[in-house]
Structure 1
Amino acid sequence: MALTMYRLSVPTFVHGFGVLGKLLDKAEAHANETGLSLDDLVNARLTADMLPLSGQVQRASDTSKGTIARLTDLQVPSFPDEEKTFSDLRERIAKTVAFLETVRLADLDGSETREVTLNFTKLKMTLSGEDYLLKFVLPNFYFHLTTAYDILRHKGVPVGKADFISLS
């Protein structure tokens, strides 16, 4: 099967959210076994100037939805960043995946040449859709997944590389 913008994005995001859900499952089990507060985990961060676990889930969600918005003409749902519990985080993941599952291969046809302009506070650039996906989106998405993993690992949750790589 040829690599397409669809195959590089939607299934990758869905898989990543599956991994994130399994990491949350392990974190919750660990918290139940050790008495670690789930609230502390949701609000845990690696350092003061980084987003907490909840923010990492929110940004992974926003990254995947924003990608679809920029590469297609689809209406993308907006979710307020109000997650405060593990249940909230799981619901955010489920809503994001439900949206991604509505995206069709044809929706992304030709998006590799679509012009995408990023205009963030410290970043302004215009990229082809292909460069946007490969050089910005995927690294950004995996940054937030990795940071969520790192937060959980830092808090003592027994997760390892195999949990992150997860081929299932």
Structure 2
Amino acid sequence: MAVSLHSIATLSILPRFKGLKLALEQAEAYATERKIDPSVLINARLFPDMAPLKGQVQLSSDHAKGAFYRTAGIAPPPMADEEQSFAELHARIDKTIELIGAVTPEQMNGREEEQVELKFRTGAMQFSVHDYLIGFALPNFYFHVTTAYDILRHNGLPLGKGLYMGRG
């Protein structure tokens, strides 16, 4: 069986994204149980120049969408980064899962050599679809999901690797 872009993206992203949602549910319960203002966790960061928890969730969402949509040759649907509560972060993850579920294997597979261009303030980057997915989208997605976990662990949540791997 040939490995497909869609299966790579799906098997890499969905379990970790669902695990992130479970981690946020645990964080919400943790805050309630310990009478911690939820905004303390939502705005927590590992270092002052890093994005807070909510930003890590938003960025992981953006990279998840990008992995599917750009690989399919479609501009990812924009989402405003306005989440301020656990409920809003859960909704963002749910919406992202819904959006990436709309991208079919037929839209993604077979486009490995097509080109993707990303534009940044500092310039543009060109990739083949294969290199974009494997070398940019997935590493960035993993980075932001892992950083979200690290923020929660740093704040005392007893999260394990199984949750990160999508095994709850």
TM, length-normalised to structure 2: 0.91
Q: Deviations over 1:19-39 (max 9, x none)?
A: 111101111121122112211
The answer to whether structure 1 residue 37 and structure 2 residue 37 are counterparts is yes
- 2:116 is paired with a residue whose SS is strand
- 1:44 is paired with a residue whose SS is coil
Residue in structure 2 matched with residue 18 of structure 1 by the alignment: 18
What CA RMSD, in Å, does the superposition of the two structures yield over aligned residues?
1.7
Which runs of 5 or more residues in structure 2 are unaligned?
none
Residue in structure 2 matched with residue 147 of structure 1 by the alignment: 147
- 2:112 is paired with a residue whose SS is helix
1:65 deviation in Å? 1.5
Which runs of 5 or more residues in structure 1 are unaligned?
none
Identity %: 42
1:101 deviation in Å? 1.0
Whole-angstrom distance in 2 between the partners of 1:137 and 1:75: 14
Whole-angstrom distance in 1 between the partners of 2:150 and 2:22: 14
The answer to whether the 8 Å contact 2:72/2:107 transfers is: yes
The answer to whether structure 1 residue 107 and structure 2 residue 83 are counterparts is no
Residue in structure 2 matched with residue 166 of structure 1 by the alignment: 166
Q: Which moved more, 1:138-147 or 1:31-40?
A: 31-40
The answer to whether the 8 Å contact 2:42/2:52 transfers is: yes
1:45 deviation in Å? 0.6
The answer to whether the 8 Å contact 1:60/1:145 transfers is: yes
The answer to whether structure 1 residue 71 and structure 2 residue 71 are counterparts is yes
Residue in structure 2 matched with residue 52 of structure 1 by the alignment: 52
Q: Deviations over 1:23-58 (max 9, x none)?
A: 011111211221122111111111111101110111
Whole-angstrom distance in 2 between the partners of 1:122 and 1:78: 21
The answer to whether the 8 Å contact 1:23/1:149 transfers is: yes
Segments of 4+ moved more than 3 angstroms: 73-76, 121-124
- Number of matched residues? 168
